Chain A
Amino acid sequence: MDQRSLVLIVDDDRLMRRIAAAALDPGRFRVLEAGDGREALGLAAMRPPDVVLLDALMPTMDGYECCRRLRQMPGLEQIPILMITGVEDDESIDRAFEVGATDHITKPVRPRSLRNRVNTLIRALEVERKIRRAKREWEATFDAVNDLILLTDDLGQVVRCNRSALTRLELTFNELLGRSLKELLWGEQPEDITPTEHEPVDTQFPQLTGWYRHSIYELPSDIDGVRRVHVLRDITLRKKAEDDLRASQVRFRRLFEEAPVMYLQVRDQDGEPIIEQVNQAFLAALGYRKEEVLGRSLTVFYDQESQAALIGGWRVSRDQAFTAERVLVRSDGERIQVVLKTQPERDLNGDVVSVRAMFTDVTELKQLQVKIMASQKLADLGTLAAGVAHEMNSPLQVITGMSQSLLKARERGTLTDERLQTSLETINRNAWRCAEIARALRTYAHSAGGTMEPLDLNVVIRDALLLTEHQLRSWSNIDIQTALFELMPPTLCDRNQIAQVLINLLTNARDAMPDGGRITIRTRLAEDGGVFLEVADTGQGIPQAALAKIFNPFFTTKPVGKGTGLGLSIIKGIVQAHGGRIWLESTEGVGTTFFLAFPSYIQDRTVAVPTAEPVGRFEEGRSLGQ
């Protein structure tokens, strides 16, 4: 686009037009020529000029009339119009300015001075245009700002304002102009707080909804009657967010205080966890007052073992989430078993400023676990009792009957030595069998347990079979086969618990074979010296879907009312407590085999659990082969 300014030269003298055009720098100006006023108006309407050089005296329409009309045309109100007058007389100069000329020059015109004059006018025009643009931009900015901006004079009356102010106050500029700001914002009510220049005030105005931050800027001296600039920034949302935050802080504070879990906040001080905050549940559980706890090290409330563990644990829990079992000591010396969970609290830089610690009291849970194990055993014992009664009654029948028969024969005098011998042998054998059953039952029922001793697993197995074999064989039509490796190294175990495991597995196997079948119990030695125990049945097998959950507490495939569902979860717990592992292999319609691996115990040293295991079996319900 042509950047040159467009100059319209109006003169009835063609030579004069030529001279004027030649005087102008062609690099900066383009020239349009008109021979009279009428032609000039037509050209100006089509192509609005930047500068007009206008001869005052022309036929048909003179320069004065032309100038007057140009000034009325849109866009030409401000352009420089240089009137060229014939003679230097005051009257024609005054007339030129009257009709709107910007300047005048007297004939004869010298080209150089014409050029200088035009250049000056153009420069002035450009400066003015820049100023006007800047003003427009500033006003647009002023209006675009969301803040309410109001300019007041010495009397506090509004002189100017931006669009936001008009919108918010629901007034037009004319309605607002000249009214006092105080009246506009506060209405009839007295002014609340006035901000100073350095300190804005967060406030509400009776005439506006919401919250505003009111700032005032004083002008050093009166500029166009303006003394102060008021800026009102809408802070309603921020205020609401702050209020919400404060309310939620109060809520969380209360939650922390009243939560039924023991809660602490600790901070690291020279490697010690110092308690910064503590909630009611913690104080109540330990029987301390708040002031006895705050500022002290957490170690004070641990038992010796937990204190030792804490030294290592604290280094970890300072920087990352951490879970551990600990023992807290109450003010009365009683111990509380807890599960501790920590979570570091970080500042915006990611540095840990404190650590939150949550304690869950598991004392009752632990006691409950023991009770559940005991009650599970009682339940097993109940089903056993029926079988045991039969086990005992048959040999008792032999003992009572045979002794009675001996007495009768002796009365009649028909008792031979040979008969006495065989009968007493039979009685003796059966009496011992009763004693053996009673011992096995007592061993199993003996609730104290807890003693770990090196035992031959085969012995425990035979004991368990003594209690159950006849029952399984006679009642459930189950054939029991054993393949026990006779040179087993001892296993460090709780006889009771292992018997419980076996009886549970046998009972499960029985329930899996309602129409009878075969149970095979096998023991063998692993290559690394560990001990394997297998209990296999030929039952219905376990559905694939149930395999994953089989070791979960309360999971059962038995009908409601039959089986507590605790069996396998307890078995797993016992096996793990012995340092062993349990897994199983099951095929629907073929049978299930449970595999148990225990470390063997040789000369006060525990050999690792056997690691070799067949592919495709399930350990704790997890498929290893897939």
Chain B
Amino acid sequence: MQKILLADDERDVRALLQGELETAGYRVTAVGTGAEAVIAAADGGYDLYLLDMMMPGMNGVQTIQVLRKITPKIPILGLTGYTGQGYMAQASAYNVTCLAKPIDINDLLNEIKLKLANAARTTAPAAAGSTSSRFGRTS
């Protein structure tokens, strides 16, 4: 079962997305801040990060910067309520696709499926699994 790390500071959004992703068959770890996301990612074992771009403390872009350093190959999807101020451009610089809130849940699930498939294709010949991290396998 593929594992997704979800970070959003809004409780209701977090609960909604966690529920939908689990229904769709993923294992989900949900956190409320960028810092928590980084800590969870360091433990490893995730196939995809789904991040809200605007969170208190470390914002989305800052979180992405750290995640890219410690786990460069894990695909990341961004979510943002605001499409201006170059957040999308900043995110795409790290090869992160940013999706605008509100998004249709089916569209979100399709995007996740697509990202995971792409990641599997590019990493399959090199690595045995898609859940490796530089901190080693944990599961």
Chain A residues near B (Cβ < 8 Å):
386-387, 389-402, 404-405, 426, 429-430, 473-475, 477
User: Which residue of the partner chain, among A387, A391, A397, A429, contacts B102 with CB atoms under 8 Å?
Assistant: A397
Whole-angstrom CA separation of A391 from B81 in the bound complex: 8
Contact A405 B54, beta carbon cutoff 8 Å: no
- The answer to whether the Cβ of B70 comes within 8 Å of any Cβ in the partner chain is no
Contact A405 B16, beta carbon cutoff 8 Å: yes
Q: Are A398 and B82 CB-contacts (below 8 A) given A404-B104, A473-B56, A474-B56?
A: no
Whole-angstrom CA separation of A474 from B55 in the bound complex: 5
Stretch at the interface among B6-14, B42-50, B127-135: B6-14
Closest Cβ of chain A to B25, distance in Å, is: 14
For chain B, which range describes its interface: under 10, 10 to 19, 20 to 34, or 35 or more residues? 20 to 34
Whole-angstrom CA separation of A494 from B106 in the bound complex: 46
User: Which residue of the partner chain, among B19, B56, B82, contacts A393 with CB atoms under 8 Å?
Assistant: B82
Contact A401 B105, beta carbon cutoff 8 Å: yes
Closest Cβ of chain A to B8, distance in Å, is: 8
Q: Which residues of A contact B15 (CB under 8 A)?
A: 426
Contact A430 B81, beta carbon cutoff 8 Å: no
Contact B59 A390, beta carbon cutoff 8 Å: no
28 contacts between A and B (CB under 8 A): A386-B84, A389-B81, A390-B81, A393-B100, A393-B101, A394-B10, A394-B13, A394-B101, A395-B12, A396-B102, A397-B13, A397-B79, A397-B102, A397-B103, A398-B10, A398-B12, A398-B13, A400-B104, A401-B13, A401-B16, A401-B102, A402-B16, A404-B105, A405-B16, A405-B23, A473-B56, A477-B57, A477-B59
Closest partner residue, chain B, to A400 (CB atom): B102
Whole-angstrom CA separation of A16 from B16 in the bound complex: 162
Q: Mark B57-86, 1 if CB is under 8 A from A, else 0.
A: 101000000000000000000011111110
Chain B residues near A (Cβ < 8 Å):
9-10, 12-13, 15-17, 19-20, 23, 54-57, 59, 79-85, 100-106
Whole-angstrom CA separation of A405 from B20 in the bound complex: 7
Known: A398-B10, A401-B17. 6 other contacts (CB 8 A): A397-B13, A397-B79, A401-B20, A404-B105, A404-B106, A473-B56
Whole-angstrom CA separation of A354 from B64 in the bound complex: 79
Whole-angstrom CA separation of A129 from B78 in the bound complex: 127
Whole-angstrom CA separation of A306 from B12 in the bound complex: 61
User: Which residue of the partner chain, among B56, B83, B85, B101, contacts A397 with CB atoms under 8 Å?
Assistant: B101
Looking at B20, B59, B82, the one whose CB has the most chain A CB atoms below 10 A away is B82
Contact B12 A396, beta carbon cutoff 8 Å: no
Contact B57 A386, beta carbon cutoff 8 Å: no
Closest partner residue, chain B, to A387 (CB atom): B82
Contact B9 A474, beta carbon cutoff 8 Å: yes
Contact A426 B12, beta carbon cutoff 8 Å: yes
Whole-angstrom CA separation of A399 from B103 in the bound complex: 11
Closest Cβ of chain A to B55, distance in Å, is: 6
Whole-angstrom CA separation of A389 from B54 in the bound complex: 12
Contact B16 A393, beta carbon cutoff 8 Å: no
User: Which residue of the partner chain, among B13, B16, B85, B101, contacts A386 with CB atoms under 8 Å?
Assistant: B85
Looking at B10, B16, B17, B54, the one whose CB has the most chain A CB atoms below 10 A away is B16
Q: Which residues of B contact A386 (CB under 8 A)?
A: 82, 84-85
Whole-angstrom CA separation of A389 from B82 in the bound complex: 6
Closest partner residue, chain B, to A478 (CB atom): B56
Closest Cβ of chain B to A519, distance in Å, is: 14
Q: Which residues of B contact A399 (CB under 8 A)?
A: 102
User: Which residue of the partner chain, among A394, A402, A405, contacts B81 with CB atoms under 8 Å?
Assistant: A394
Q: Which residues of B contact A405 (CB under 8 A)?
A: 16, 19-20, 23, 105
Q: Which residues of A contact B23 (CB under 8 A)?
A: 405
Whole-angstrom CA separation of A395 from B81 in the bound complex: 10
Whole-angstrom CA separation of A141 from B32 in the bound complex: 112
Contact A393 B102, beta carbon cutoff 8 Å: yes
Q: Which residues of B contact A395 (CB under 8 A)?
A: 12
Contact B13 A390, beta carbon cutoff 8 Å: no
Whole-angstrom CA separation of A404 from B109 in the bound complex: 13
Q: Which residues of B contact A473 (CB under 8 A)?
A: 56
Whole-angstrom CA separation of A240 from B23 in the bound complex: 106
Whole-angstrom CA separation of A396 from B83 in the bound complex: 15
Q: Which residues of A contact B12 (CB under 8 A)?
A: 394-395, 398, 426, 429-430
Q: Which residues of A contact B13 (CB under 8 A)?
A: 394, 397-398, 401
Whole-angstrom CA separation of A405 from B81 in the bound complex: 20
Contact A474 B59, beta carbon cutoff 8 Å: yes
Closest partner residue, chain A, to B108 (CB atom): A401
Closest Cβ of chain B to A407, distance in Å, is: 10
Looking at B15, B17, B59, B102, the one whose CB has the most chain A CB atoms below 10 A away is B102
Looking at A386, A390, A426, the one whose CB has the most chain B CB atoms below 10 A away is A390
Whole-angstrom CA separation of A402 from B15 in the bound complex: 10
Q: Are A390 and B56 CB-contacts (below 8 A) given A397-B101, A401-B102, A401-B105?
A: no
Whole-angstrom CA separation of A474 from B63 in the bound complex: 13
Closest Cβ of chain A to B15, distance in Å, is: 7
Contact A474 B105, beta carbon cutoff 8 Å: no
Contact B54 A390, beta carbon cutoff 8 Å: yes
Q: Which residues of B contact A398 (CB under 8 A)?
A: 10, 12-13, 16
Closest Cβ of chain B to A412, distance in Å, is: 10
Whole-angstrom CA separation of A401 from B79 in the bound complex: 14
Closest Cβ of chain B to A339, distance in Å, is: 44
Q: Which residues of B contact A474 (CB under 8 A)?
A: 9, 54-56, 59
Q: Which residues of A contact B10 (CB under 8 A)?
A: 394, 398
Contact A392 B17, beta carbon cutoff 8 Å: no
Closest Cβ of chain B to A224, distance in Å, is: 111
Closest Cβ of chain A to B102, distance in Å, is: 4
Whole-angstrom CA separation of A396 from B16 in the bound complex: 12
Closest partner residue, chain B, to A473 (CB atom): B56
Whole-angstrom CA separation of A391 from B100 in the bound complex: 13
Q: Which residues of B contact A477 (CB under 8 A)?
A: 56-57, 59
Closest Cβ of chain B to A516, distance in Å, is: 9
Q: Which residues of A contact B17 (CB under 8 A)?
A: 401
Whole-angstrom CA separation of A477 from B54 in the bound complex: 10
Closest Cβ of chain A to B54, distance in Å, is: 4
